A = this chain, B = another copy of it.
Amino acid sequence: MTVSIKDVALKAGVSVATVSRVLGSGPVSDALRARVEEAVAATGYRPNLSARRLRSQHSQTIGLIVSDIRNPFFTAVSRAVEDAAFQAGMRVILCNTDENPDREAMYLRLMQEERVTGLIFAPTRTTLGRLDRAGLDFPVVLIDRSGPSGLYDSVVLDNQQAAAALVGHLHAQGYRRIAGLFGNTSTTAVERHGGYHAAMIEHGLTPDARFVPPYAEAAEAEVAGWLADGSSVVRPDAVMVSNSLLLMGVVKAARKHGLSIPGDLALAGFDNEAWTELVGPGLTVIEQPVHEIGCAAMNLLFERLDVPDRPTRKVVLSGTCVVRGSTAPWEASRV
| CB pair A70 B76 closer than 8 Å | yes
For A, the interface residue count at a CB cutoff of 8 angstroms equals: 48
Instruction: Report the nearest B residue to A280, measured CB to CB.
Output: B278
Assembly of this chain: how many copies? 2
Partner of A50, one of B2, B53, B137, B273: B53
Within 8 A of B (CB), among A82-123: 82-83, 86, 91-96, 109-110, 112-115
- Residue A312 is within 8 A (CB to CB) of chain B in the complex: no
- Residue A150 is within 8 A (CB to CB) of chain B in the complex: no
Q: How would residues 197 to 234 of chain A score, 1 for a CB under 8 Å from any chain B CB and 0 otherwise? A: 00000000000000000001000000000000000000
**Distance A52 CA – B158 CA, assembled complex (angstroms):** 43
| CB pair B79 A68 closer than 8 Å | yes
Instruction: Report the nearest B residue to A251, measured CB to CB.
Output: B278
How distant is A84 from chain B, measured CB to nearest CB, in Å? 12
Partner of A44, one of B82, B110, B135: B135
| CB pair B278 A115 closer than 8 Å | no
Instruction: Report the nearest B residue to A106, measured CB to CB.
Output: B86
**Distance A75 CA – B46 CA, assembled complex (angstroms):** 30
**Distance A279 CA – B273 CA, assembled complex (angstroms):** 13
**Distance A10 CA – B86 CA, assembled complex (angstroms):** 39
Instruction: Report the nearest B residue to A110, measured CB to CB.
Output: B91
**Distance A280 CA – B275 CA, assembled complex (angstroms):** 11
Residues of B within 8 A of A2 (CB): 115, 137
Residues of B within 8 A of A275 (CB): 248, 273-275, 278-279
| CB pair B109 A95 closer than 8 Å | no
How distant is A45 from chain B, measured CB to nearest CB, in Å? 10
- Residue A176 is within 8 A (CB to CB) of chain B in the complex: no
* Selected A-B contacts with CB under 8 Å, 15 pairs: A2-B137, A48-B54, A50-B53, A50-B114, A51-B54, A69-B69, A69-B78, A69-B82, A70-B72, A91-B93, A93-B93, A93-B94, A216-B274, A273-B275, A279-B279
